Amino acid sequence: MSLQVVLRAGRAVRGRLPLSSVCHGARAVHGAALRSTGRRSLLVAAGAAVTAGLVAGYGHLQRADMASVDHGEDLDRRVAAFMAPPVTELERLRRSGGDMKTRMELLIMETQAEVCRALEEADGGAGFTVDRWQRTEGGGGVSCVLQDGNVFEKAGVNVSVVYGYLSEESIQQMRSRGKDLKTKDGKLPFCAMGVSSVIHPKNPHVPTIHFNYRYFEIEEADGNKQWWFGGGTDLTPTYLNLEDVVHFHQTLREACDQHNPGFYPKFKKWCDDYFFIKHRGERRGVGGIFFDDLDSLSKDKLFQFVKSCAKAVVPCYVPIVNKHKNDSFSPEEKMWQQLRRGRYVEFNLVYDRGTKFGLATPGSRIESILMSLPLTARWEYMHVPPPESREAEILNVLREPKDWVH
């Protein structure tokens, strides 16, 4: 596993970092940050790379330098609002404003900042810790984690932008999904980026949310470029609150319907199928949307769709948080939440593709991959809630997914 210097600092530090030096490497940054701010920051030696299934080597997928002359000031303004400087050098982003990789990197950084700020406001106490890390093999990321807040037990919002050559395992996995990939000497240069998040609240009446939006480019041996989008947003409540679930699905449906009326029903079902804990015969939660390998429309149209989904994260979730964050709850309700957290761990460690490939991949940043796990979880032998109880009510829904909006 390659070791990298990682900058870890409170969010307040970030705004003071000289962007130009940050974008040239974390080592330089760290020194600069320490000297220029004098605030608490921490050097951590850690492996890098969150996107799963990647191995060594710098790829050929250089950003197309399509200059966008009127892009300068707007870019500075956008970047200033991020939780940390973007992974790609600012000058390169400036020169390639029309390239999808640039547009997507800015979108995922922006989504990270929007979600983190909205959660900090809802929490009213704790702030996100920001870790900016680099991956020797190419790229890096920004991990934002809030732990033990007023409202949130553990909230992680992670961005990664990585490139290099795909691992054998990833190539096989993509082929098994039906992709026709022409390699050269077994190699496939790629670029992958995404924002990925899991938010575990303290109160059992506030549900857990997960979302992830990602973009892939692959360059085949004959120069052909493949690309696709993937992603989704899904909700995992401890107890069923019909109004909340309908609001959540309705907000996602509206985001989808702007682009294609077939998207929501298709991606809703995909979500129910994907988040299935087979050995329990239960879904992880009440679903949402999930999609992968999306390349059937133009890049721009699909980007606009993904952007709508990303923009829907805060409105589909934060109102539910605010509605329930002060609800009273019993020790029994907290315990049921902890048992459901155990199932969350089971799904993530046993089935989740990203987690599995991440763990199997040398050079992965394990702490970023496993930040999806809850702060605490519980397993009881033969726990069966009484029929007609509120615990049995949510179990029924997890066993037989419903249509929440029509």
Active site residue 210: yes
Closest CB to a copy of itself among 268 and 341? 341
CB distance 236 to 209 below 8 Å: yes
Does the footprint of a copy of itself cover residue 246 (CB under 8 A)?
A: no
Which region, judged by CB under 8 A, interacts with a copy of itself, from 161-169, 226-234, 354-362, 391-399?
Answer: 354-362
Q: Report the nearest approach of a copy of itself to the CB of residue 326 (Å).
A: 25
Nearer to a copy of itself, 77 or 278 (CB): 278
Buried b / exposed e over 361-371, threshold 16 CB at 10 Å, is bebbbebbbbb
Least Å from the CB of residue 350 to a copy of itself: 5
Choose which of 35, 77, 279, 406 interacts with a copy of itself (CB under 8 A).
279
Nearest distance in Å: CB 54, a copy of itself: 15
Report the SS3 class of residue 137: coil
Q: What angle do CA 23, 230, 256 make, to 5 degrees?
A: 115
CA separation for the pair 293, 280 (Å, rounded): 28
Phi and psi (nearest 5°) for 250?
Answer: -60, -40
Range 356-359 contact pairs with CB under 8 angstroms and sequence separation of 24 or more: 356/52, 357/52, 357/53, 357/169, 357/170, 357/173, 358/50, 358/51, 358/52, 358/53
Per-residue interface string for the shown chain with a copy of itself, residues 304-343, x marking contact by CB under 8 A: ----------------------------------x---x-
CB 4 within 8 A of CB 50: no
CA distance 83 to 9: 11
Residue ranges of alpha helices (H) inside 124-208 are: 168-176
Residue from the set 8, 30, 135, 187 that interacts with a copy of itself by CB under 8 A: 8
Q: How far is the CB of 120 from a copy of itself (least distance, A)?
A: 16
H or E segment and range at residue 31: helix 26-37
Residue 145 within binding range of a copy of itself, rule CB under 8 A:
yes
Report 356-375 residues binding a copy of itself (CB under 8 A).
Answer: 356, 359-360, 364, 366-367, 370-371, 373-375
386 in contact with a copy of itself (CB under 8 A): no
Q: Does 278 bind a copy of itself (CB under 8 A)?
A: yes
Q: Which residue shows structure tokens 């966008």?
A: 68
| Nearest-5° Cα angle at 378, 126 to 154 | 15
* Residues in 107-136 at the binding interface with a copy of itself, rule: CB under 8 A: 129, 131
Give the length of the chain: 406
If one asks whether residue 3 binds a copy of itself (CB under 8 A), the answer comes out as no
Least gap, CB of 252 to a copy of itself (angstroms): 28
Which residue, 129 or 250, is less far from a copy of itself as judged by CB?
Answer: 129
Give the helix ranges, DSSP H, for 124-241: 168-176
Q: Which of 30, 205, 210, 259 is catalytic?
A: 210
Give 191's DSSP letter.
E
Considering only 77, 222, 381, 386, the residue that binds a copy of itself (CB under 8 A) is 381
Specify the residue, 69 or 382, whose C-beta has the smaller distance to a copy of itself.
Answer: 382
- Catalogue the active-site residues: 210
Q: List interacting residues with a copy of itself (CB under 8 A).
A: 1, 8, 44, 129, 131, 145, 147, 154, 156, 278-281, 338, 342, 345-346, 349-350, 356, 359-360, 364, 366-367, 370-371, 373-382, 384
